[in-house]
Structure 1
Amino acid sequence: MAKTKESLKTQIYNAILDHIFSGEFKPGQILNEKELVEKFGCSKAPVREALIALCSDNVLRSFPRYGYEIIRLTSEEIEEIQNYRLILETGYLRNCYHNLTKLQLSELTRIADRCLSPESTVWEHWEANTEFHLTLLSFAHNRYASEQLARSMAILKRAYAQFYWHTWNQSVPSIDVQHHYPIIESLEKKDIERAIQLLKEDLSDFCLY
């Protein structure tokens, strides 16, 4: 019973996130528990638990007896996350670049190819780009660092929905992943300073229009 209850809570948690990513639920909108119960056709308990979990993850803000507001990410907050990523990703890359293997670089190339797929949807593109950065950091073999980057990318996914959803077009993939191949080439040459500079430029391509 507990397992089923937890599974339903997780499904509702993910469904609410999906609605935020798709733009059906918008930043600043108030979500009502009763309306969500009707929408998902379930009891109050898993909906309430999902809402509480989303509050804990800073996706929602609770207003007692009123509802749950979808938190709007500010450009300042996003800049702070990007600055954190810059230190995290460049620091660990500098520590591990000399041990990178041809197999690992081939894996990065495979992911870079996916990032430029002309048939990608906005979220397929986002997931491929995220995989590139998580894979690159994973070569440092620090699980905690990888978990923190994954958490940062989850927040930035909401920012992607907030700022890019209505302006998405097929020129975006080539713009925000244009440094991936040069990064790989620099790492093949063990040119860490060039790779670090390119990674910085890659992170700066996450612009808010």
Structure 2
Amino acid sequence: MMLEKVQSIFDLANTKPASRPSSRKEEAYSRILEIVLHGEMEQNTCLNEQKLAERFGMSRAPVREALQMLCSERILENIPRMGYRVVPISVKETIDAINVRLLLEIESARLACRNRSNVALARLDELIAQEKRIETDEESIHSWITQGDVVHQSIAELSGNIVLVRMIVSLIDLMRRASIQLILEGKDKPLSIHYHMRILRAVRVGNEKEAEELLRKDIIIIKDMITQG
């Protein structure tokens, strides 16, 4: 049952197909997905097919196909006579994703402590420095969320487990949408930068226990924001 639950959440989170031929439809798909993930849409607003086509400089046909594709993947839903709306992420769905992500990222932290390299750690140092700069930019909500996600992905990549990385990245995409939704609802940005820096130091010295615990606390921040309403 647990494996089925994990697979179900993974399938839902994996919104980016592994391999798609290059075409106008795929270009429209990628650009619309970026609009969603970047939090460019205000709550309860709809995407308009004609306006998207004009914005992208293409005909309506590939835009319509891309919108239908995103609907089939449960990212958007078609509201008759209004347009396409982002499917809200439920509290339960978000908490389920967080619980699975905790299991996967704690394992990735443990492996990262064993498989670290100077090159990889230098990259993480660079990412942390970038995130610290972004944290002071109140207008850059998308940059703040994306940078934190990249740090988590980089820690996962240090694990050396390709399948683990793929699953974590998929869940990160889902959680990015949830984080944007929370911020649009007026929640404060969690101060995850402090945990990221400490995680990096723990991985650098190979302290598995500390790295695991810090990752747990970092991820649980979002869960607390949700459950505390």
Whichever residue aligns with residue 153 of structure 1, its letter is I
Alignment TM-score, normalising by the size of structure 2: 0.73
1:185 partnered with 2:167? no
Counterparts of 2:47 and 2:137, CA distance in 1:
33
Whichever residue aligns with residue 117 of structure 2, its letter is T
Change (3 A) 1:101 1:22: closer
Task: Using the aligned pairs only, state the percent identity.
Answer: 26
Cα offset, 1:30, TM superposition: 4.7
Counterparts of 2:67 and 2:78, CA distance in 1:
9
Cα offset, 1:54, TM superposition: 1.1
Whichever residue aligns with residue 25 of structure 2, its letter is K
- Residue 132 (structure 1) aligns with: 151
1:205 partnered with 2:224? no
Partner residue of 1:20 out of 21, 36, 51: 36
Whichever residue aligns with residue 127 of structure 1, its letter is T
Counterparts of 1:76 and 1:189, CA distance in 2:
36
Cα offset, 1:37, TM superposition: 4.4
CA RMSD of aligned residues (A): 3.0
Are 1:98 and 1:190, in contact at CA under 8 Å, matched by a contact in 2?
A: yes
- Trace 1:20-99 onto structure 2 (pairs within 5 A): 20-21=36-37, 25-33=41-49, 36-37=52-53, 40=56, 42-62=58-78, 68-99=84-115
Whichever residue aligns with residue 45 of structure 1, its letter is A
Unaligned runs of 5+ in 1: none
Cα offset, 1:80, TM superposition: 1.3
- Residue 154 (structure 1) aligns with: 173
Are 1:20 and 1:26, in contact at CA under 8 Å, matched by a contact in 2?
A: no
Change (3 A) 1:26 1:14: farther
Counterparts of 1:82 and 1:188, CA distance in 2:
25
Whichever residue aligns with residue 83 of structure 1, its letter is N
Cα offset, 1:103, TM superposition: 3.1
- Residue 142 (structure 2) aligns with: 123
Counterparts of 1:104 and 1:41, CA distance in 2:
40
Counterparts of 2:113 and 2:39, CA distance in 1:
39
Are 1:27 and 1:72, in contact at CA under 8 Å, matched by a contact in 2?
A: no
Query: Could you tell which deviates more after superposition, 118-127 or 33-42?
Result: 33-42
Q: Is the radius of gyration larger for structure 1 or structure 2?
A: 1
Cα offset, 1:102, TM superposition: 3.1
1:114 partnered with 2:133? no
Cα offset, 1:31, TM superposition: 4.3
Cα offset, 1:203, TM superposition: 0.6
Structure 2 SS opposite 1:163? helix
Counterparts of 1:153 and 1:184, CA distance in 2:
19
Change (3 A) 1:23 1:182: closer
Structure 2 SS opposite 1:156? helix
Are 1:115 and 1:125, in contact at CA under 8 Å, matched by a contact in 2?
A: yes
Change (3 A) 1:140 1:103: same
Query: Could you tell which deviates more after superposition, 191-200 or 23-32?
Result: 23-32
